[in-house]
Amino acid sequence: MMKKVLALLLIGIVTAQVSAQNRRVTEGVDIQIKKSALESIEKFNVRNINGDLKVEGYDGDEILVTGTKTIRKRKGRLDQKIIDEIYLRQEVHEGTVYVFIQAPGVEVDFKDGKMRYSMNWNRNRWDDDYDEVDFEFDLEVKMPKKMMVEASTVNGGEVLVENMLGGVKAGNVNGGVFLKDVAGKTKAHTVNGDIEVYFAENPTEDCQFNTVNGSMEIFTPNNLSAVVTFESLHGDLYTDFEQVTRLKPQLNKEKDGKGYRYRIGKSTPIQIGNGGPKMEFETINGNAYIRKRK
């Protein structure tokens, strides 16, 4: 089931293949959001739950989403009700186009210009119709490269963003995040996975990179200028830049009742080149690397 919201112009073409005993269904996904629906849009937000997500920027003026949707039932038969209730949903809210997985147990709320999106993993346990049901979407997006993009998945896949110059926020939980030829404000985070970023140009805005279990590798042009902070319990920061200066610990001012308190930052910042925007790294188990892009 596909949904048309506000001025979104959406074309969906769905083909399905049903396996033996009706326990597995695979459908093709093909969505087009036309230029006329993007005239007042500043950002595109795409969220997957299970599966790969690839976003590629191009010189066109439409957003194209393609891929496959696979639903499996480990016991019993899949019926059409289950197939129809797991789909890609589209919404527009305060200058952002959202494309995300809608399924039983997915909770969505729009408030204060933001989307709250969560999966109630206990939802299927008390609904016999969804007992033993698994689903996966493998998605590819082509979109105007100067737009801001937010892209994320949770399980069973990786997030890959290429050629996006208007800023990137990319996330994962159990998998890696890979950004290639990106520019603008950049954030990348995961829990169990590596982060790898290739900047098309030196950052001009603050950037953040964090993982719990994984390494972080950042590749920039040879004339990088930035202030870098790094926090880790079991890891180190490495760089092949030679013009590196150790700075004084950061002193953070915080509101405390009727007054203020000052907290010294956990990490000692370093300056690469002449300084500039912040590059913040945080991990528990893993190293961070800032390298010259060859």
Tens of pLDDT, residue by residue over 213-258, are: 999 999 999 999 999 999 999 999 999 999 999 887 766 667 776 6
In angstroms, how far is CA 159 from the centroid of its own chain? 7
Instruction: Note the pLDDT of residue 252.
Output: 63
Instruction: Note the pLDDT of residue 15.
Output: 47
Which of 145, 1, 114 has the alpha carbon at shortest distance from 47? Answer: 114
**Please, which pLDDT band fits residue 14 given cuts at 50, 70 and 90?**
very low
Instruction: Note the pLDDT of residue 12.
Output: 43
Q: What's the rounded mean pLDDT across residues 117-125? A: 67
Instruction: Note the pLDDT of residue 128.
Output: 62
Q: Name the least confident of 131-145, 215-229, 264-278.
A: 264-278
User: What is the phi-psi region of residue 84: left when phi exceeds 0, alpha when psi lies from -120 to 50, beta otherwise?
Assistant: alpha
| Whole-Å CA distances, 9 to 3, 12, 151 | 10, 10, 21
At residue 49, does pLDDT exceed 50?
yes
142 or 262, which is more confident: 142
4 φ/ψ angles, rounded to the nearest 5 degrees: -100, 125
Q: What's the rounded mean pLDDT across residues 125-144? A: 82
Which of 155, 129, 151 has the alpha carbon at shortest distance from 140? Answer: 151
Q: How far apart are the C-alpha atoms of 104 and 85, rounded to whole Å?
A: 7
44 or 82, which is more confident: 44
Q: Within 13 Å, how many C-alpha atoms sit on residue 83's CB side?
A: 19
Name the pTM for this structure.
0.86
At residue 205, does pLDDT exceed 50?
yes
| Domain locations along the chain | 1-144, 158-244+274-294
Q: Is 84 helix (H, G, I), strand (E, B) or coil?
A: helix
Q: How far apart are the C-alpha atoms of 132 and 115, rounded to whole Å?
A: 29
In 10 A of CB 272, how many CB atoms? 21
Q: What's the rounded mean pLDDT across residues 84-112? A: 92
At residue 11, does pLDDT exceed 70?
no
Which of 73, 65, 87, 85 has the alpha carbon at shortest distance from 25? Answer: 73
Q: What share of the chain is helix, strand, coil (3-state, %, to 5)?
A: 5, 55, 40
Rg of the chain taking only CA atoms, in angstroms: 21
At residue 188, does pLDDT exceed 70?
yes
Model pLDDT for residues 59-83, shown as the tens digit of each residue: 999 999 999 999 998 887 888 888 9
Residues 6+ apart with CB under 8 A from 211: 189, 190, 191, 192, 193, 194, 195, 283, 286
CB 200 within 8 A of CB 181: yes
As a whole number, the mean pLDDT across the chain is 87
Q: How is residue 187 written in tokens?
A: 């954030």
Instruction: Note the pLDDT of residue 9.
Output: 39
Residues 6+ apart with CB under 8 A from 196: 176, 177, 178, 179, 216, 217, 219
In 10 A of CB 77, how many CB atoms? 9
The arrangement of strands across the sheet holding 226-231 comes to: 87-93, 96-102, 43-47, 148-152, 168-171, 186-189, 207-210, 278-282, 226-231, 270-272, 244-246
Which of 180, 138, 156, 183 has the alpha carbon at shortest distance from 46? Answer: 138
5 or 174, which is more confident: 174
The one-letter amino acid code at 219 reads F
User: Percentage of the chain with pLDDT > 90?
Assistant: 68
Instruction: Note the pLDDT of residue 79.
Output: 86
At residue 126, does pLDDT exceed 50?
no
Please give the DSSP secondary-structure letter assigned to residue 22.
G
